[in-house]
Amino acid sequence: MCAHILVAEDNPHQAELVRRYLEHDGHSVVVVHDGRSAIDEARRRDPDLLVLDVMMPAVDGLDVVRVLRADSDVPIVLLTARSAEDDVLLGFDLGADDYVTKPFRPRQLVARVRTILRRAGRARATNAAVLKVGDIVVDPLRHEVTLAGEPVALTPMEFRLLSTLAAQPHRVFTRGQLLQDGFTTERTVDVHVVKLRRKIEHDPRRPRRLLTVYGIGYKLV
């Protein structure tokens, strides 16, 4: 499985080691050395996976995750010398897919990357069927949404939210269940629901498609 991988690591020797092992496994790799460059490069190239050092100058790895998770579901593997449970849990809470502590064996990192890419591939295959709910059509394979035949431009996180709801129309999803789609907090879920309603509702203040089930969560009808 050949993937385009972005590596963000401020230690040149460590970065070169990771790059060499990933390329040997058949991937194309781009390396940057600080958090700001990681954000810019991720937005420019839309990589299949990001290997991200936590402790980098200017913008650290956790802040990179926070920024990218606002509009991207790219798989992220964190590299860090911090091995305390709270640090690990924070990384996962922010939306990281895996957490590798230093020092690490490069072949184990490559194996974890391979596993995450397989998982992401299976998820894309599972979600490939076109979903129809009323006059909303969601095409996960083409990453397209139409409303009454007209295209709707969604951010990656809005698309992910709508796809989850459209896969099981009329089912009520709790905010906790929607957090599994890459959102970092329940408040983030609410914010994306508001943004999505602005794009699929005639009157977002009186939604008729994306409904709130008070005290529980949301459903698409």
What's the confidence (pLDDT) of residue 114? 87
Query: Does the N-terminal peptide bond of residue 12 adopt cis geometry, omega within 30 degrees of 0?
Result: no
- Helix then strand then coil, in percent of the chain rounded to 5, is 45, 20, 35
CA dihedral (108, 111, 115, 120) positive or negative: positive
Q: In the β-sheet with 144-147, what is the strand arrangement from edge to edge?
A: 131-133, 136-139, 144-147, 150-151
Q: Residue-wise pLDDT tens for the chain (221 aa)?
A: 578 899 999 999 999 999 999 999 988 999 999 999 999 999 888 888 999 998 887 788 899 999 998 888 889 999 888 766 677 788 788 888 888 888 888 898 999 898 888 877 655 555 557 889 999 999 887 788 999 999 999 888 888 899 889 988 899 998 888 876 656 577 888 888 999 999 999 999 999 999 999 988 999 99
Rounded-to-integer distance, Cα 35 and Cα 81, Å: 17
Topology of domain 131-220, per CATH?
Answer: Arc Repressor Mutant, subunit A (1.10.10)
Residue 196 token pair: 């999505």
CA dihedral (25, 29, 32, 38) positive or negative: negative
Q: What angle do CA 125, 65, 116 make, to 5 degrees?
A: 30
Rounded-to-integer distance, Cα 27 and Cα 202, Å: 45
Domain boundaries, the chain: 4-126, 131-220
What's the confidence (pLDDT) of residue 124? 58
Rounded-to-integer distance, Cα 108 and Cα 119, Å: 17
Residue 176 token pair: 């906790």
Rounded-to-integer distance, Cα 115 and Cα 136, Å: 33
What's the confidence (pLDDT) of residue 122? 54
**Integer-rounded Cα radius of gyration of the chain:** 19
Topology of domain 4-126, per CATH?
Answer: Rossmann fold (3.40.50)
